[in-house]
Amino acid sequence: MMRSKINIFLKDLQRLVKGMNFYRALLLLLAVTIPIGIGALLGHVEMGLAVGFGAFWCSPSDISGSRKHMRNGILFSALLVTIVTFISSLIPDDIRIIIPSIGIMMFLISSISVFGFRGSLISFSGLLAFVLSFAFTNDSISIVLHSLLIGSGGLWYLILASIWYRLHPTGPIEEALNTVLKVTSKYIETRSKLVYPDVERNQLQEELFQYQNELGEQHETLREILLSERRSFGKSSYKRKRVLVFVQLINILEQAMANPVDYEKMDKLFREHKEPIEAFQRLLEGMCEKLNLLASYKGRKSEKATDIQLQTLLKNVELSIEKYMLRKDSNAEGVFILQNFYKYQLKQVESIEQISWIIHGGSIRDMSSLSASTAVKFITPQEYRFQILLDNFSFQSVIFRHALRLAMVSMFSFIIGNYLEVHNPYWILLTVIVILRPNYGLTKTRAKERTIGTIFGAIVALAIVFLVHNVVVYAILAVVSMLLAFSMIQENYRAGAAFITLNIIFVYALLVPDLWSVIQYRVIDTVIGAALATLGNILLWPAWEVKNIQNVIASSIRDNCRFLYEIVQLYERKGGRPTSYNLARKEAFLSVSNLSATFQRMTQEPKSQQQHQSEIYQLVSLNHTFLSALASPSTFIQNLPTTEASESFSLAAKNITDHLQECIEWLSGNENVQQFQQKELSYFLEDVDTTQMLSLDLNAREAYTIEMTSDINEAYLIIEQLKWLYSLSDQMLRLVKKIKSSAD
C-alpha cells in the first residue's frame, strides 16, 4: 500500500517536472533572481528588485497559445505596469486620497478584462503592480527611473521567454496535444462504461459533460497554437503533422459522441448475451490505453503505442457479432445495433491508427491538409477595439459589474486593514484581487482553496522553522517553494497557495526575527481577504448564472440547429464535407461545452439563486444528448455511401428544426413566438418506414447476415436517429415552455 502511494507520488512529481508549467516557473525564477543578484553584486539592490518585480508582474501573460499573442500580451503588460507604478508613486500618503485612488485604479485596470482571457491576464498584471506598490516603496531612485525599471523587467522576461521558446519551439504544442490525447482517452473510457448494464448513467453523463467542457477549452488552445501563425503554416512538416493529428482528434471526439444505440434497449437485448458487449469493452479499453501511450511517447522504443493491436481487438468484436447472429435466440434489431456500433468503433480505430502513424514518424505525403486561409476560419478571433470597452460600460456587462465590485471591496479591504492595524494591509488587497472573480462559484472555490492552502502552508512552515534554525536552509526552501508554487498554481490552486505561503514565510525568515507574527498576520489577512471577496460577490451587483443561462442555452440550441442544417445538406447533396460543416461542428461543440461550464457555475451558487434547476439540468443534458444524436448520422453520412434522401427525411428534419427555432424564440424573450403546428411523430416518419424498410422483416432469419446490405443499415440508423432527434427537440420545447410559464 505504502509502496503504491510512493509510486503514485513519484509519477506525479515526474509529470510535474516534465510539464510546461514547471519550465515556466523555472523561467520566472531566473527572471526574478538574476536581476536581483546582479543588483546586489553592483550595490544597487533597489534597481535589481525593480527589474525582478517587473518580470514577476508581467509573467501571467505567458500562457499556452501562439508566440505572437504571448509576445503582445507581455509587451502590453510591461506598458501597463510601468504606467500603474508611475501613477501609484504619485499618490500622497493620505488615507483620504489613497482610498478613492484605490477604487478608481482598481476599476480602470480590471475593466481591461473585457478583451477576453488574455486581456484579463494583462489586467491582473496591472492589479499586482498597483497593490504591491504599497509594499515596495523606493526612495533611493527617482519615480520615473523606478517605473521604467519595472517596465524593463517585463521586457527582460520577454527576452528570456523568447529565447526559451526558440530553444524549445515544440514544447507548448506537445503539452497541449498530450493534454488533448489524455482527456480524449478519459472521455472514451467514461463513455465505454455506459455500455455496461445497470450502471449509474446519470453520473457518467455528468462526467462526460466535464470532460467535454475540458476538451472544448483544450481544443481552442491547440487551435490557436497550430493555426494562428499564418506565415509558418504549411511550411513546417512538424506543424503540419500536428495539425493532422488535431484533425483526427476532432474526428475521434465526434465519433465518441456519436451514440447510435439505445442503452436501455441494449440492456434488454444483451442481458443474457454479454459476449459482444465484453468484446466492445476490451476494444474501448485498448483504444484508451493507446491514446495514453501516444500522449507519453517521447521516441523511446519501449513506449511505442504500436504495441497495442487494435485490429486484433476489432476482429474479436466482429467474431463475437457473428457468434451472436448464429444463436437461435438472437434478435434482428440486436444485430443492427451491434453492427452500427461496430462501424463507429472502426472509424475511431482508424483515426487512432492515423495518429499513431504520424506520431511514430509516418509520412504525411498522401494525407490531406488544411490551407492557411481555411485554417484561419477555425480560430476564434478576439477584437481589441476601444469601442468594446465603451460598449461594456453598462450594468448589463458582467465585467463592468465585476470591476465596480472589485473597486468597492478593495477600498473596504484597505479601510479594514488600517482599522485593525494588521501587519501588512496590502496582503488583504492581494488576496482580494487573486480570489475575486466575476462569478460567485469560482470566487467561493478560490476563497476556500486559498484559505486551506495558506493555513496548511503556515503550519508546515511553522514546524520547519521550529525544528531548523539555519538561514541557508531557509533560503533554499524559499527558492524551492517558489518554484513549486508557480508550477502548481494552474493545476492545483490549493497546493500552489500553500507553497506561496511557504515561500513568503521563508523569505521573511531571512529578514525579520519575529517570524510568528508574520505567520499569524499572513493567515489572518488571507481569511479577511477571502471573506470580503466572497461577501462582495454576494452583496454587490452579483452576476448570478441563472439570469444568463437561458441565453447560453439558446446559443447552444442555435448552434446545434446550424449543425443539423449542415448534416441535412450533406445528406441531400452528397459529395465532400465543406468547410461550413466543420465550422458548424466546432461551434456546436464549443457551445455545449460553454453550457456545461455555465451550469456547473450555477450549481455552486446559493440555493436561493438556483431557480428551475431541475428543468435547466434537463435542458443541459438534452443539449448534450442532441449533439451526440447529431454526431451519429453525421459520422455515418461522411464515412459510408448513402442513398438518395427521401422527401420524408427532409420533412422530418424541418419539423425538428422548427422545434429548435421555437425554443430559441421562447428563450430569447420574444413575446410573439411563432408556434408551429405540432404533428405526431408518425405523420412524417411513416413514409420513411414504408419506403425504405417495407421489404424488411426484422424477425425473419434470412433478413440478416454478416453481409447485411448498406441501405438497410442506413435506413435503420437514419430512422432511429430522426425519431430520437424529434423526441429530444420536443422534450426541449416542453421544458422551455414550462420554465417560461412558471416565470410568468
Cα(380)–Cα(318) distance, integer angstroms = 42
Percent of the chain at pLDDT exceeding 90: 8
Q: With cut-offs at 50, 70 and 90, classify the pLDDT of residue 83.
A: very high
Residues 6+ apart with CB under 8 A from 591: 555, 556, 558, 559, 560
SS3 134: coil
What is the assigned CATH class of domain 170-376? mainly alpha
- What mean pLDDT is predicted for residues 192-217? 77
Which grid cell sits at 487? 508550477
Quickly tell me which residue has 499569524 as its cell. Answer: 520
Cα(285)–Cα(592) distance, integer angstroms = 26
CB 103 within 8 Å of CB 96: no
Nearest by Cα to 663 from 577, 556, 576, 529: 556
Q: With cut-offs at 50, 70 and 90, classify the pLDDT of residue 109.
A: very high
Residues 6+ apart with CB under 8 A from 744: none
CB 664 within 8 Å of CB 550: no
Same fold for the pair 170-376 and 553-743: yes
- What mean pLDDT is predicted for residues 207-224? 79
Q: What local confidence, expressed as pLDDT, does residue 466 receive?
A: 80
Which grid cell sits at 665? 424564440
Span of 436-450, 453-467, 638-652 with lowest mean pLDDT: 638-652
Residues composing the chain:
744
Backbone conformation region of residue 646, classed left if phi is above 0, alpha if psi is from -120 to 50, else beta: beta
Q: What local confidence, expressed as pLDDT, does residue 84 receive?
A: 93
Cα(16)–Cα(126) distance, integer angstroms = 29
Q: With cut-offs at 50, 70 and 90, classify the pLDDT of residue 148.
A: very high
Q: What local confidence, expressed as pLDDT, does residue 206 receive?
A: 77
Residues 6+ apart with CB under 8 A from 229: 66, 67, 68
Cα(297)–Cα(699) distance, integer angstroms = 49
- What mean pLDDT is predicted for residues 625-649? 72
Alpha helix ranges (H) inside 235-371: 237-257, 263-269, 275-296, 310-326, 332-359
Q: With cut-offs at 50, 70 and 90, classify the pLDDT of residue 2.
A: low
Span of 141-155, 300-314, 402-416, 540-554 with lowest mean pLDDT: 300-314
Residue ranges of domains in the chain: 10-168, 170-376, 414-541, 553-743
Which of 74-83, 110-119, 125-134, 509-518 tops mean pLDDT? 74-83
Percent of the chain at pLDDT exceeding 70: 78
State which amino acid sits at residue 248: Q
DSSP 707: T
Span of 332-336, 431-435, 506-510, 620-624 with lowest mean pLDDT: 332-336
Q: What local confidence, expressed as pLDDT, does residue 384 receive?
A: 64
Cα(238)–Cα(254) distance, integer angstroms = 25
More confident residue, 379 or 334: 334
Question: Is the pLDDT confidence value at 319 over 80?
Answer: yes
Which grid cell sits at 558? 442555435
- What mean pLDDT is predicted for residues 454-480? 84
DSSP 307: G
More confident residue, 339 or 119: 119
Span of 115-129, 306-320, 361-375, 590-604 with lowest mean pLDDT: 361-375
SS3 509: helix
SS3 94: coil
Q: Tens digit of pLDDT for each residue in 520-550?
A: 777 888 888 889 999 998 888 887 887 788 8
Q: What is the mean pLDDT of the chain?
A: 78
Q: What local confidence, expressed as pLDDT, does residue 378 receive?
A: 45
Q: Tens digit of pLDDT for each residue in 220-239?
A: 777 777 766 544 444 567 77
Q: What local confidence, expressed as pLDDT, does residue 4 receive?
A: 56
Determine the longest span between alpha carbons in the chain, in angstroms: 95
Residues 6+ apart with CB under 8 A from 498: 453, 454, 456, 457, 460
- What mean pLDDT is predicted for residues 580-602? 83
Span of 183-192, 448-457, 677-686 with lowest mean pLDDT: 677-686
What is the assigned CATH class of domain 553-743? mainly alpha
More confident residue, 31 or 169: 31
Cα(53)–Cα(71) distance, integer angstroms = 18
- What mean pLDDT is predicted for residues 201-228? 77
Cα(118)–Cα(203) distance, integer angstroms = 34
Question: Is the pLDDT confidence value at 404 over 90?
Answer: yes
Q: What local confidence, expressed as pLDDT, does residue 329 receive?
A: 65
CB 406 within 8 Å of CB 436: yes
Nearest by Cα to 432 from 137, 654, 678, 134: 134
Question: Is the pLDDT confidence value at 301 over 80?
Answer: no
Using CB atoms within 10 Å of the CB of residue 22, give its burial: 0 to 12 exposed, 13 to 18 middle, 19+ buried: middle
CA dist 633 to 338, 587, 686, Å? 16, 18, 19
- What mean pLDDT is predicted for residues 276-301? 79
- What mean pLDDT is predicted for residues 88-112? 89
Q: With cut-offs at 50, 70 and 90, classify the pLDDT of residue 8.
A: low
Q: What are phi and psi of 705, to 5 degrees?
A: -135, 175
As a 3-state breakdown, the chain gives helix, strand, coil percent values, each rounded to 5, of: 80, 0, 20
Q: Write down the number of H helices and E strands in the chain.
A: 28, 0
SS3 683: helix
Q: What local confidence, expressed as pLDDT, does residue 408 receive?
A: 94
- What mean pLDDT is predicted for residues 664-688? 59
Q: With cut-offs at 50, 70 and 90, classify the pLDDT of residue 670.
A: low
Q: What local confidence, expressed as pLDDT, does residue 114 receive?
A: 85
Angle at which helices 20-41 and 45-58 cross, to 10° = 160
More confident residue, 136 or 593: 593
Q: What local confidence, expressed as pLDDT, does residue 85 receive?
A: 92
- What mean pLDDT is predicted for residues 706-720? 59
Task: Give the rounded distance of the alpha carbon of 608 from its chain centre.
Answer: 28
CB 726 within 8 Å of CB 656: yes
Q: Tens digit of pLDDT for each residue in 546-577?
A: 778 888 888 989 998 898 888 888 777 776 67
- With vertex at residue 286, the alpha carbon angle to CA 282 and CA 290, rounded to the nearest 5 degrees, is 175
What are the DSSP calls for 406-463, one per residue?
A: HHHHHHHHHHHHHHHT-S-HHHHHHHHHHH--SSHHHHHHHHHHHHHHHHHHHHHHHH
Q: What local confidence, expressed as pLDDT, does residue 306 receive?
A: 56
